[in-house]
Chain A
């Protein structure tokens, strides 16, 4: 084969992404692409779209297949060498379970969402970028399921991730986040997922948390996590590109984009509370606190990004200062919530060990020492007295983010923050001004939310009358999949495996 003279990157990219499309004549373009105008975004010239990575489809396949080869070689080694025994502690598995139940389905939802957005845009450059991302997201869902399937042989609570995705109260948080985005128009979808979530916020998930997985000996998660993140930087770039593209195309786009950034920053931040709690509580060996991660990735890198967008007339997202005020509390408030509603969770909760509490005191200071540490110690006393604390009464849940309403007022950590919103004579409750604003902007959308405790009370959760029947409807076995970690089958098995037995039994409920 004769090797032709290689074209430059810019020419190659231009050849592969321009002139491939055409103006339709049998049907008007607006009929062929019915979704890319109704949101009010004005595009004058689609050819101004630039993919900064200039990755052609050919290179895309080449590098993706190399990533897959590397990943699966490691996953094979992990499985063959009983990699599950190398994690720091079986408590760590709660983080893995939450990832499998809560995050992996989002990858699949993103696959669907980008397939739809790719079809909806009439510009070829945007379509190619969405196509690549759609394929990436499917890859992420698959590699995560492959990686986690090994853990599923040894630990409880991982058996029905698809079943509980549509039923569990704590999974309605990520699910509703994505369904809100997917049911919006294509520009809002890409702004929400690629920009607000991936560019601004997922660094907090894939960097400190995956680094934490590495520190806790989870080779499987580390490997797919960083492999996925290598795609993520391309997605983030798409996010920044689509935002800049809209802002540069027409000044009328600026207020629309700003409203989306306000909304999706807040929704993404609320969702990431789960990740912060994984970092602070579910990693037995700590790498970085949520507070530190927030300072680095939002207060440093995130704000730098908004400074850059300032020249288009974009300001910092609304309520970012509230998010920053909450950085010393949110993970402690959320963990206490997961702990007390643990009878309906497909993962275990516990009171951290003393050294972990000391680490939190060091990272979080006075507020932790006066409020959260004493609360955790009270819970420990109860448990030691044989009365492990559970709250079996269903909570109020935010109509927008679907998180139980546990957040406290921005300037008063002792007062629960509730905002009442009204639409068509029915009252609803939100957890914050951020969520209340989102509701009030699109009330007809959010009155449709399926809120799990309300669903249960209406008799629409398999007829469950209380939290225990509800857990059965989730296919979660009491005290095996749910509840306290100490004394659970996962705990007993772990102790047995770590003591001397070289070959673990798979998925037994009782320690041998």
Chain B
């Protein structure tokens, strides 16, 4: 079994666009909602693409804006201007 990475975001309207983008870009990702937050689990690797988020928001999006609504993560991070990737190497 591949270990899962995860990202958790606050459940508000701004984060909704990020959540939608993640689910679109990661076909194996599963969103689990609980009060106030959404936790997205994905086997092995999960990517957040700046372009997809910007498209969903209908405005420019700086990937570091993710910090405002981010709750938690599990996985090694690799971040550039265009992509925020979580992965396990094992």
Contact = CB atoms under 8 A, between A and B. Distances in A.
- Do chains A and B stick together as partners? yes
Interface of A: 8-10, 52-55, 59, 63, 66-67, 70, 203, 206-208, 210-215, 222, 226, 229-230, 232-234, 236-237, 240, 287-288, 300-301, 303-305, 307-308, 310-311
Interface string B58-90: 000000110111111110111111000000111
For the complex, would chain B's binding face be called helix, strand, loop or mixed by DSSP majority?
A: strand
Contacts of B37: 207, 210-211, 214, 226
Interface residues of B, number: 30
Given A206-B72, A232-B72, A301 B67 contact: no
Contacts of B79: 9, 52-54
B35 A212 contact: yes
A207 B10 contact: no
B3 interface: yes
Given A52-B76, A207-B8, A288 B34 contact: yes
Interface of B: 3-6, 8, 10, 34-37, 39, 64-65, 67-74, 76-81, 88-90
Contact of A8 (B5, B34, B81, B88): B81
B3 A236 contact: no
Contact of B72 (A212, A233, A310, A311): A233
Contact of A301 (B6, B69, B71, B78): B6
A390 to B, nearest CB: 34
22 contacts: A8-B80, A53-B77, A54-B79, A55-B64, A63-B68, A203-B74, A207-B8, A207-B39, A210-B36, A211-B36, A213-B36, A215-B35, A226-B10, A226-B36, A233-B70, A233-B73, A287-B34, A288-B34, A301-B4, A304-B3, A308-B88, A308-B90
Closest 8 CB pairs of A and B: A214-B36, A304-B3, A52-B77, A215-B35, A214-B35, A301-B74, A211-B34, A229-B71
Contacts of B3: 303-304, 307-308
Contacts of A66: 68
A236 B3 CA distance: 18
Contacts of B74: 203, 301, 304-305
B78 A230 contact: no
A211 B32 CA distance: 12
Nearest to B74: A301
Contacts of B10: 226, 230
A211 B35 contact: yes
Contacts of A52: 76-79
A334 B67 CA distance: 35
Nearest to A54: B79
Contacts of A67: 67-68
A207 B72 contact: yes
Contacts of B76: 52, 240, 308
A3 to B, nearest CB: 14
A308 B36 contact: no
Nearest to B6: A301
A300 B75 CA distance: 12
Contacts of B70: 229-230, 233
A308 B48 CA distance: 21
Contacts of A54: 79
Contacts of A63: 64-65, 67-68
Contacts of B64: 53, 55, 59, 63
A304 B4 contact: yes
A10 B83 CA distance: 12
Nearest to A297: B74
Contacts of A59: 64
Contacts of A203: 72, 74
Contact of B36 (A53, A222, A233, A303): A222
Contact of A307 (B8, B67, B73, B90): B90
A54 to B, nearest CB: 6
A310 B89 CA distance: 10
Given A10-B80, A63-B65, A311-B90, A208 B72 contact: no
B59 to A, nearest CB: 15
Contacts of A214: 35-37
A296 to B, nearest CB: 9
Given A63-B65, A215-B35, A237 B89 contact: no
Nearest to B36: A214
A323 to B, nearest CB: 18
Contacts of B34: 208, 211, 287-288
Contact of B68 (A9, A70, A207, A287): A70
A214 B68 CA distance: 18
A236 B8 CA distance: 13
Interface centre among A211, A287, A310 (most CB of B within 10 A): A211
Contacts of A240: 76
Contact of B77 (A212, A230, A237, A301): A237
A226 B60 CA distance: 24
A237 B76 CA distance: 8
A271 to B, nearest CB: 18
Nearest to B32: A296
Contacts of B90: 307-308, 310-311
Given A8-B81, A203-B74, A212-B35, 19 more contacts: A9-B81, A52-B77, A53-B64, A63-B64, A70-B68, A206-B71, A206-B72, A210-B36, A213-B36, A215-B35, A226-B37, A230-B70, A234-B67, A236-B73, A288-B34, A301-B74, A303-B3, A304-B3, A307-B88
